[in-house]
Amino acid sequence: MKIRAWGALAVAAVVSVPVLAHWRGGVQGKPVFTEQAQTREIQASILTSGTMVYEHQALLSPEIIGRVQRVLVREGDRVEKGQILLQLDDETLRAEVQQQQAVVAQQRTAVERQQVELAAARRQARRMDQLFDARLIDARMHEQENQAAQVAGITLQSAREQLRQSMAQLEQVQQRQAKATVRAPMSGVVVALAIKEGETAVPSASGIAGSSLLTIADPATLITEVNVDEADIPRVQVGQQAAVFAAGDPDAAVRAEVVHIALTPRVPTPGVPVTGRNYTVRLRFEADSRLTLRPGMSCRAEIYTVTAADALAVPLQAVLSSNSETADPGSREAGQSYVYVSEGNLALRRVVTTGLSDDRYQQIRSGLAVGDRVIVGPYRELRHLRNGDPLRVPEEPRQ
């Protein structure tokens, strides 16, 4: 009997040790990390992407066909409005101008000749009037002379119209010749030079793209154009702050401001399936932020739509919902939101009311107090945690 009693005590001791350690949060507790609930600024944002462009730029293309005779600028040169940038070969156009000038001169001579003939015809008609009044000529001869004067007047008018037509044609040829000299339409910097001396510049035609000559832009007008989904565009307003992250330096945020929101969605690219409607939003950088950026860079942007200052917040992964078995931590699926708080090495479930969130933190409107330590991971433990579960927390909890 004594042997059996001692055996029973030994078995009870073996069983009681892990159980006691379990309830005291010893090695049998679930290993978790905690973080203090603190007040911080929460900024709700819209994530989007786009490209950096110049707000004020001019893409120059030829208006006439011609061989590039001279290129007078280089990429990076600063130019002033009206400055000559390049010259196309205008030898043929000069010949056309000279030919048309000769036609105009001929028409002027014809007008002068008709003026003389009209004056002579009118004098002759007046003499015929006098002779007819004196009954020295018959009515037929008198009528012929009057008709001749009328015809001379009509001929003069026709010559003048032909002169106007020739002068208009001369002006058209001169305008075409002037287009052989490409001038800067605005002051700025040559940011792209797409043609060389000796190459042929071809203007655009119906459905056919022409040659690109060069691009002038104002470097002070560098902006970002981003595409905002139709579901998010109602929350975007002019004047909202934004952070832009260039692809070349994705960790450096450049502050910007919303300056323009398109009224109509972007026109889809032909041949590309339409998955949704996007609106173009322009973000203007702060004055001291443009120096490290370049046009054409791709970027992502966060547009801050709502800000909550001094908001009690916890990490996103700490917030669960009543249907978390099928949802990731921090998800916004329907259900009651709650967190687990570590108290006395036990996990205590706290129902909370959530507010704004950013990419890291969730605002807690009720259910927690500043300083409460919420369990933030690891997720493999957090997703299976139950109220009252024992915990094994590191001696120095995460801050």
pLDDT in tens, the chain (399 residues): 444 444 444 434 434 434 444 444 444 789 999 999 999 999 889 999 999 999 999 999 999 999 999 999 999 999 999 999 999 999 999 999 999 999 999 999 999 999 998 898 888 888 888 887 878 778 888 888 888 889 988 999 999 999 999 999 999 999 999 999 999 999 999 999 999 999 999 998 776 778 899 999 998 899 999 999 999 999 999 999 999 999 888 888 899 999 999 999 987 766 666 677 899 999 999 876 655 788 899 999 999 999 888 999 999 999 998 765 544 554 444 568 999 999 988 999 999 999 998 889 999 999 999 999 999 989 888 888 999 999 988 865 455
Reading the block at residue 12, the tokens are: 């009870």
- Length of the chain as a residue count: 399
Per-residue confidence (pLDDT) for residue 5, from 0 to 100: 44
Kindly report whether the global pTM for this prediction surpasses the value 0.95. no
3 state SS of 57: strand
97 backbone dihedrals φ, ψ, rounded to 5°: -65, -45
Query: What type of residue is 387?
Result: N
Alpha-carbon torsion (334, 380, 37, 308), positive or negative? negative
Q: For residue 108, with 0-12 CB atoms within 10 Å meaning exposed, 13-18 middle and 19 or more buried, which class applies? A: middle
Q: Please report the domains of the chain, with CATH numbers, ordered by start residue.
A: 28-41+311-392 (2.40.420.20), 47-54+219-308 (2.40.30.170), 66-88+181-216 (2.40.50.100), 91-178 (1.10.287)
Q: Are 34 and 375 in contact (CB under 8 A)?
A: yes
Q: For residue 60, with 0-12 CB atoms within 10 Å meaning exposed, 13-18 middle and 19 or more buried, which class applies? A: buried
Q: For residue 118, with 0-12 CB atoms within 10 Å meaning exposed, 13-18 middle and 19 or more buried, which class applies? A: buried
Helix (H) or strand (E) holding 98: helix 91-133
Reading the block at residue 68, the tokens are: 């590039």
β-pairing, 361-366 with 222-229?
unpaired
Reading the block at residue 130, the tokens are: 């006098």
Per-residue confidence (pLDDT) for residue 338, from 0 to 100: 95
Query: How remote is the C-alpha of 393 from its chain's centroid?
Result: 49
Task: Give the residue from 179, 187, 238 showing the smallest Cα distance to 213.
Answer: 179
Residue the block writes with tokens 């293309």: 61
Task: Give the residue from 282, 251, 279 showing the smallest Cα distance to 265.
Answer: 279
254 DSSP β-pair partners: 244
Query: How remote is the C-alpha of 38 from its chain's centroid?
Result: 38
Reading the block at residue 18, the tokens are: 């892990």
Please state, in angstroms and rounded to a whole number, the distance separating the CA atoms of residues 70 and 74. 12
From residue 254, alpha-carbon distances to 197, 246, 299 in Å are 40, 8, 11
Per-residue confidence (pLDDT) for residue 359, from 0 to 100: 84
Task: Give the residue from 26, 34, 40 showing the smallest Cα distance to 348.
Answer: 34
Question: Cα 46–49–51 angle (5° rounding)?
Answer: 140
350 backbone dihedrals φ, ψ, rounded to 5°: -125, 120
**What DSSP string describes 194-226?**
---TTPEE---BTTB-----EEEE-GGGEEEEE
Alpha-carbon torsion (13, 18, 19, 23), positive or negative? positive
Please state, in angstroms and rounded to a whole number, the distance separating the CA atoms of residues 371 and 265. 47
